[in-house]
Amino acid sequence: MIIVDTALARREAENRPIRVGLVGAGFQGAAIIRQIVTSTPGMHVVAVANRNISKARDAFTVLGIEPAFCDSRAAINAAISRGQPAVTEDAIGLAGADGIDVVVEVTGSVNYAAEVVLEAITAGKHVVQMNAELDGTVGPILKQRADSAGVIYSFSDGDQPGVQMNLFRFVRGIGVTPVLCGNIKGLHDPYRNPTTQKAFAERWGQKPAMVASFADGTKISYEQAIVANGTGFKVARRGMIGPDFSGGDPYAPLVPLEKTVAAFAAHLDPDGPGIVDYVVGAQPGPGVFILGTHDDPRQQHFLNLYKLGSGPYFCFYTPYHLCHFEVPTSIARAALFGDAVLAPRGKPEVGVIAVAKIDLSVGDVIAEFGGYHAYGVAENSEIISREGLLPLGLALGCRIVRPVAKDAVLTFADVEVPAGRTVDRLYAEQEKRFPFSNPKAGACA
């Protein structure tokens, strides 16, 4: 927030706010609107798109603002011009509308979100999103498209991948070499589904399937995949290591450091690309951590003096992630400084593949993240390509064409892919743009 807050205050004083268009007015989207309207000078939400228009309207009216309903790009343009926030079901129209500097994508969808992001990039708008599922499927090619258009494509502050990348940049900036980017989970059970998570979801006003995707490992797989793509890191093995420290001292950070290092020691190579991974049941949760090394004995001495231990691995952690509270900072970094919080460096390093949650039968359709049919696990991208494995982001909507046993990894040969989807074309373009050696035939063009 340092520097950003000063820049936003200047934009407020000059009456030149950053103009934000938001796609998705659900749990997080509505919270982002509230944060910008109530707490962020120098930034205005000028348009919101949602497939359920009442949620978009409610996000404003609860704050005492009456938006204008708009059914076309022209109507959105007109509302923005007269200073009235627009609400619409037309996300593509919003993404291309005049008077918007940054489009924020918060839907959790894949194909729909891909279409919106592509339109925003084509229209010359920066894109900030909280959609790890989209980014973990076709983020590298979307980043290439954004670079060609001269705009910023960025994941957001606040969610754990962005917090990890902020910490990674800090650690690297003080001369420590990161060797592991870590996430902290409270629970991991790959067989959780919308039924098992219904009560928890109702308690917090969230969707049961979305909550199930947190519990079944899908979400953390996507989060660590996009951190890998932003750092050049890999996974040590399919599904990551994920040591479970549940039941330990709830006040011991990473319970303790020596135990955490021991769990990953065989895979920590200061001369290698580094790995992404996670721990379960550690504190502080749900925070993030970086393990790093320093090759200067004198600097090691100072790190020990500053209570980080004697090494060889030093642990840096952030004990929280504040989701929507930090999204405005991401928007400002993109719009005012041309700085992406987190974006793919180039080729995909890690992706998320579909694994059968139950015995799948011919005719079953994989409906949603966190649903009843499949969960996601992280895998290195060259293996995904070489073995023709089915990315979970492409699996949604696919029909099973031959039986797949519970816990078996799905391949493209196991499914019938719906025709005409934008995300499939992007994935094919991504594989062509970043080829691996000896790939098997994969996504349809």
Instruction: Give the chain's domains with CATH numbers.
Output: 4-157+324-337 (3.40.50.720), 160-320 (no CATH), 350-433 (3.90.1210.10)
Cα dihedral across residues 22, 135, 176, 278: positive or negative: positive
Enumerate residue ranges in the chain where pLDDT < 50: 439, 441, 444-445
Question: According to the model, what pLDDT value does residue 222 have?
Answer: 97
Question: According to the model, what pLDDT value does residue 248 have?
Answer: 59
Residues 111, 423: contact at Cβ < 8 Å? yes
Q: What is the pTM of this model?
A: 0.94
What whole-number distance in Å separates Cα of residue 224 and Cα of residue 289? 12
Question: According to the model, what pLDDT value does residue 320 have?
Answer: 86
> CA nearest 184: which of 321, 260, 281, 291?
281
Q: How far apart are the first and last CA of the chain?
A: 42
3-state SS class at 433: helix
Question: According to the model, what pLDDT value does residue 253 have?
Answer: 57
* DSSP string over 294-315: ---HHHHHHHHHTTS-S-SSEE
For 325, which DSSP code? Answer: G
